[in-house]
Amino acid sequence: MLKIHQLQKSYAIGDSSLHVLKGINLEVEEGEMVAIMGSSGSGKSTLLNIIGMLDEADSGDYILDGLPIKNLTEKKAAVYRNKFLGFIFQSFNLINYKNALENVALPLYYQGMKRKARQEKALFHLEKVGLANWAKHLPKELSGGQKQRVAIARALAANPKLLLADEPTGALDTKTSYDIMAFIQQLNNEGKTILMVTHEEDIANMCKRIVRLRDGVIMEDKKVNQVSALQYV
């Protein structure tokens, strides 16, 4: 599903440069649920952004579903992002002047889907996250957990191969976090491949595999016994 080989990335800070990723090798199979952990500055977000085609590596290979991701034009990157990837952010990133349904339908709009089909599909995904009744509500009328559910519905709307979550529970309280995690686990059980960045051990343990980063290299990569989030709900 996903193959990364000798990935390097550095940022220029003033005159000096900061070497963030120092040769990352990673393979993720279909249906996996991987937590990327590490302290702040370990390069975990950078790695996720490169995987999400939001950022570009300096060197190394990145192959997604057999497609080499390299030297993409902005346009091509946009099309790939839309087709292959679903994003879930820590701060939800919903568009605040659009209601829940419109937010979920946005990736479909960029796919060029007709309005009616789009709304039906968006509603279907909202139903899936249990928020069909909130379709016409604006983000500000939703709780944090609800917002993240809408964001998950949005990430799912385009039926991506890979879900990328950047600290999906970072802005939520514990109970809501477990709630969201239970839902993500359910998605994984249904076959979705999920990659998430987190720095919370309990959240990481709800994944099937944990990859630990420190100073731009992978320190540890191990399968874990998945803790079901449902038992806390």
Partner 1 sequence: MLKFLLDRDTWQEVFDSLSKNKLRSILTMVGVWWGILLLIGLLGSARGIENAFNRLFGDFATNSVFVWGQSTGMPFKGFQEGRRVNLSLSDAKKIEENVEGVEFVLPRIQQTKMIKRNFLSGSFRTAGDYPLLDDLQKKKLIHGRFINQNDIDNHRKVAVISDGTYEQLFEKNEEVIGKYIVIDDINFKVIGMFERGNLNLGPSTDVHIPFSTFRQVYNTGDRIGWLMITGELDYDIVQIEEDTKLLLKNLNDIHPKDTRALASANAGKEIGKVTGFLKGMQFLTWFVGIATLIAGVFAIGNILLITVKERTKEIGLRRALGATPFEIKRQIVVEAVFLTLLAGLFGVISGGWILIALDHFFGQGEDAAIVNASVSIGVVFLAMIILIILGTLIGLIPAFKATSVKPIEALREE
* Positions that interact with partner 1 (CB under 8 A): 49, 52, 54-55, 74-75, 78-79, 81-83, 87, 89, 93, 95-98, 102, 106-107, 109-111, 115, 154, 158
Measured from the CB atom, is 107 or 210 closer to partner 1? 107
Q: How far apart are CA 167 and CA 197, in angstroms?
A: 5
Q: Tell me the closest approach of the beta carbon of residue 89 to partner 1, in angstroms.
A: 7
Q: How far apart are CA 183 and CA 187, in angstroms?
A: 6
Nearest residue to 166 (alpha-carbon basis) of 21, 36, 9? 36
What is the phi-psi region of residue 195: left when phi exceeds 0, alpha when psi lies from -120 to 50, beta otherwise? beta
Measured from the CB atom, is 53 or 210 closer to partner 1? 53
Q: Tell me the closest approach of the beta carbon of residue 228 to partner 1, in angstroms.
A: 30
Q: Tell me the closest approach of the beta carbon of residue 36 to partner 1, in angstroms.
A: 16
Give the per-residue SS3 of 109-166. HHHCCCHHHHHHHHHHHHHHCCCHHHCCCCHHHCCHHHHHHHHHHHHHHCCCCEEEEE
Q: Tell me the closest approach of the beta carbon of residue 205 to partner 1, in angstroms.
A: 27
Measured from the CB atom, is 4 or 210 closer to partner 1? 4
Measured from the CB atom, is 106 or 230 closer to partner 1? 106
